[in-house]
Copies of this chain bind each other. A is one copy, B any other.
């Protein structure tokens, strides 16, 4: 039986991505070769990389606006390092918003390079909200934020306006909602939520901001070198890039970000309405900052957990337990999750209410 997969990432992907990528492992493009054994320099794979790069920009509305899309390795955690290496000046400084565990990890890596100003932090509230009302120093080399906090289930609803470059870790909500993406100078995202399987990282860079920090950059960490090599500076993660392309094609056929945003809002609305209505549950995050991707919630009476856990498992749900730093439950409702799966969870919550 196919599960209702609420995993926070790696996570559910469209069924057609599973089917097409499974087939490509047996025979890719009728070539007599598996996607796992073809050269990354082969005509067929260069076409995959080129289409993935241009489709990412197209879906974000960034084509022809001075941006380049790269599919790199190392996850968002390597971008925590690459961003300061590429943007922070020698003796410069960077501004960071501390809205969660991953933002905090990005800050730690930036401190390795130089002065790192934390403009605001919700750490004292266990990151249950996204800080607001902060000011961004105009003399910083860049401002870094995290658009969606997977662990705590919060999401930035507004992106601040500033004159310095804006860098955003969008790992857990890229391609899920419409934003004016031209407000960003660098967007990066580990693939393993809305874009594909684990193993590749999308980095979207506005080219004009590169080459200005006067710092010598190791080749493998240099965005300009990756751009010049058309995202093939070294062997890319062939299969994860291919599966990401399939996912982006699925999204385009669905109607793009505008279409999926409506579906995502409907799913989140269905679940949050039940969390607020059902007297057994409460939300974990500040209401105004609730993430459309990751809904965190708790049982008012922890003694109901045994029964509830048995009920959702019986219903074919997986991946629902919350992160250890929040506890309770986390329902991750990424692009590929059908609203029918959310209805199954809501039904279980209502059945629990009747049962106890």
Q: Does A1 contact B (CB under 8 A)?
A: yes
Residues of B within 8 A of A196 (CB): 36
A3 lies within 8 A of B32 (CB): yes
Q: Which residues from 10 to 53 on chain A have a C-beta closer than 8 Å to any C-beta of chain B?
A: 10-13, 17-19, 21-23, 25-26, 31-34, 36-40, 42
Q: Does A200 contact B (CB under 8 A)?
A: yes
B234 lies within 8 A of A75 (CB): yes
A238 lies within 8 A of B78 (CB): no
Tell me how many chains of this kind the complex includes. 2
Chain A interface residue count: which class? 35 or more
Residues of B within 8 A of A5 (CB): 33, 37
Binds B, one of A154-162, A218-226, A252-260, A304-312: A218-226
Smallest distance from the beta carbon of A243 to chain B beta carbons, Å? 6
How far, in whole Å, are A77 and B77 apart by their CA atoms in the complex? 17
Smallest distance from the beta carbon of A74 to chain B beta carbons, Å? 5
Residues of B within 8 A of A7 (CB): 37-39, 42
Smallest distance from the beta carbon of A49 to chain B beta carbons, Å? 12
Smallest distance from the beta carbon of A246 to chain B beta carbons, Å? 10
What would 19 A/B residue contacts be, using CB atoms closer than 8 Å? A3-B31, A3-B33, A7-B38, A8-B39, A9-B235, A10-B235, A10-B238, A19-B26, A22-B22, A37-B197, A39-B319, A73-B237, A75-B235, A81-B218, A105-B219, A108-B219, A192-B235, A199-B236, A199-B237
